A and B are shown apart, each in its own frame.
Chain A
Amino acid sequence: MKTGTIRQILLITDGCSNQGEDPIKVSSMIAQKGIAVNVIGVLDDDQTEEPVGLSEVNDIANSGNGISRIVYADVLSETVQTVTRQAMTQTIQGFVSKELKQIFGKETNEEDLPPETRGEVQQVVEDLGETVDLQVLILVDTSASMQHKMEAVKDAIDDFILSLQARAGNHYYSIFQFPARNQVVKELLPWTNDGKRVAKVFPKLAAGGITPTGAALKQAVRSFEDVPSAEEWRDDSDDIIDSSYGSS
C-alpha cells in the first residue's frame, strides 16, 4: 500500500445483499489492496436497534478492515464523519505500530507504552490524520427502501465534504450508486474535491429493487485506478481552497 494516501470505501445501505457475490468475501479482497471498507447501516424509524438483516453491515466492515455503525437517518451526518475518522486513525495506527516495531525490535502496541510516551505517539497519529491525502469512494444503496432516506444521505455527504475541506491534507471523493438501471453499479460523480457537485448528483438517483452489494463493491473499487495523479491533484485542491475562502 502506498503510504501518504489513505483510501476508503464508504458504503451506505439499509439492508442485506440479496444477489450476486458475497460482499464479505469481496470486502476482504478489497482490504488486501490497502483500501478500508466502512459500512453504515441506516435504520428505519420504526426499526429497533439491531435487526438481523443488518448484521451483515458489521461483517462487511470487519473483513474490510473498516468501521461500521448502524444508526437512524437523523444522525447520519455525524456517523459518516466518525466512521471515516476512526478508520483513518486505525490505518495510521497500523503504520505507526510497524514503525514502533522497528524501533523496539519487537511487536509493540501503543497500549504497552507508558502513558507519557503514548502521548507523543498519539500526537504523531493525529498530525498524520490531519495531513495525509484521503480518497473516499462513497457507495450509496439506492434500492427502493432507501428512497425516503436519500435527503438525509445527501445532507450527510454535503456535511462530510465540508469537514474534508477543513483538513490540511488533500482529499478526493467520488459517488457511486447501486443498483442502477441495467447495471449493477453506476458512477454518479467521478473523483473530485469540489464540494458543490454533490447537489447536482442527487436528483439523478433512481430506485431499484435488488441489492447486489458484493458485485457493486467489486466493480466500484476499480475506480481507484482512475484517481488523478498526485500532481494534478495538488493543483486542483489549491484552487478549491482559494476559492472557498471568500465564500459564505
Chain B
Amino acid sequence: MTSSIHPTVRLNKHQQLKGIWNKRTYVIIRLIGEGARGSIYLALLGNRYVALKISQDSSVITAEVNVLKMLKKVQGQPLGPLLLDVDDAYVSQSSKLAFYVMEYIDGVPLGQWIEREGLSWMFPISFQLLSQLNQLHQLGYIYGDLKPDNILIDKRTKHARLIDVGGVTAFNRSIREYTTWYDRGYWKMGDRRAEPTYDLFAYAVCLLNMDPHVKIQKSSERDILKLLNQAKSLKPIHHVLNHAFHGKYQSALEMKKDLEHINAQQMKKPQSNYNTPSPKLNVWPETIGISSIIFIHVALFYYFIL
C-alpha cells in the first residue's frame, strides 16, 4: 500500500500522451497548475488547446470526472469546464496513470482581475456566479471549495467560470474539500455539512477579500464580523455580506437580488456627480476614479443580458 504519495506528475514539454482506451494523442505544452491532488497541463489535441489533469491517485481523477459528467447534464450556461475525454496513459514505460481532459479556460483568477480592472466588476461577476451557484444548488449539490483562485474570468468573454470541481458535494454530505479562510467552520459560523448557505458564506468571503483594507490571511483572530467592519470600500454591500455570514440567505438568488438592488442604486449616483466630482458622493472614493464610469456601463450591460 502506498502511504504519503505525492499526487503531482512531471511531464515534459512536447511529451506525447496516448490514451489507452480512447486512443487520442495529446501533446504537452506546459504546466498550468499543481495542487494537492494532481497536476494540470496545457496540451494540444490536434490544433485545439485543452487542459489535461493527471494524478498519481487515480481516484482523484475518477471522482472529478464523476462530478464533471454530472455538471454536463445541465442545460444553458456551463457549470465548470466542459469534460472532453477520460483515459489512462503510460507516462513512462512502467507507470500507467489516469487523466482527464477538459476545455482550457484562458482566464484570470478573480482576485487579480479585480485588482487590475476595478472593484466595480464585482457586480457583474457576482450576478454570473450566483446564478451558476443557484443552478448547481438546484441539482442538489454545492460547490464547496469556493475561493478567488477557483474563479477564472475568461479573457475573451469576460465571463466568470468555476474551475476545480474537487469540492463539489451532494447536499447534507460532509464538504469534500475546502480552504481555511473561506470555510465557515473555521470562523465558527456553522458546520461543514453541504447546504447552499455554505457556498454563500464562502462567496461572501471572496467579496470581502476584494477590499484592499481587509487582510484576511493576516488576521489571527477568528472573527469574520470584525473583518467586515474593516471593509471600507465595500460599505454599500455590508448588510449583504453580514446576511451571508450568518447563513440567512436560503438561496443564491436571494443574495443576487439584494446585490442587484444595490447595483441599481449605485448606478443612479455616479451620473449625478459626473459633473461635480465631490468625493462624498462617490461610491468608493478610494478605489474608483472617473474611469469607473466605463466599468459601470459594463456592469449595466451584464446586468441586462443575464
| A residues with CB within 8 A of B | 58, 61-62, 65-70, 77-78, 82, 89-90, 93, 110-111, 114-115, 118-119, 121-123, 125-126, 130, 159, 162-163, 165-168, 244, 248
Contacts and interface: CB of A to CB of B under 8 A. Distances in A.
Given A62-B3, A115-B98, A119-B65, A166 B88 contact: no
Contacts of A61: 3-4
B59 A110 contact: yes
A159 B63 CA distance: 24
Nearest to A61: B3
A119 B3 contact: no
Residue from B3, B4, B186, B188 with most neighbouring chain A CB atoms (10 Å): B3
Interface residues of B, number: 30
Q: Which 4 A-B pairs have the closest CB atoms?
A: A166-B174, A166-B192, A122-B62, A115-B86
B13 interface: no
B58 A248 contact: no
A89 B65 CA distance: 17
A166 B174 CA distance: 5
B3 A110 contact: no
Interface in B198-247: none
A227 to B, nearest CB: 21
B21 interface: yes
20 contacts: A58-B3, A67-B4, A110-B58, A111-B58, A115-B21, A115-B86, A115-B87, A115-B88, A119-B65, A119-B66, A121-B62, A130-B173, A130-B174, A159-B185, A162-B191, A163-B185, A165-B192, A166-B193, A168-B172, A248-B191
A162 to B, nearest CB: 5
B57 to A, nearest CB: 9
A110 B172 CA distance: 27
Contacts of A123: 66
Contacts of B109: none
Given A61-B3, A68-B3, A111 B88 contact: yes
B157 to A, nearest CB: 30
A118 B20 CA distance: 15
B298 to A, nearest CB: 38
Contacts, number: 79
Contacts of B21: 114-115
Interface in B45-71: 58-59, 62-63, 65-66, 69
B216 to A, nearest CB: 15
A78 B186 CA distance: 11
B58 A118 contact: yes
Given A119-B62, A159-B185, A90 B1 contact: yes
A248 B174 contact: no
Given A162-B191, A248-B189, A66 B59 contact: no
Interface in B85-102: 86-88, 96, 98
B192 A163 contact: yes
A168 B173 contact: yes
B59 A89 contact: yes
Contacts of A248: 188-191
Given A123-B66, A166-B192, A248-B189, 15 more contacts: A65-B1, A67-B4, A68-B3, A82-B36, A111-B88, A115-B88, A115-B98, A119-B69, A122-B59, A163-B192, A166-B173, A166-B191, A166-B193, A167-B173, A168-B172
Contacts of A166: 173-175, 191-193
Contacts of B63: 122, 126
B4 A162 contact: no
B1 A162 contact: no
A70 B3 CA distance: 11
A5 B33 CA distance: 37
Contacts of B185: 159, 162-163
B112 to A, nearest CB: 24
A119 to B, nearest CB: 5
B38 to A, nearest CB: 14
A68 to B, nearest CB: 5
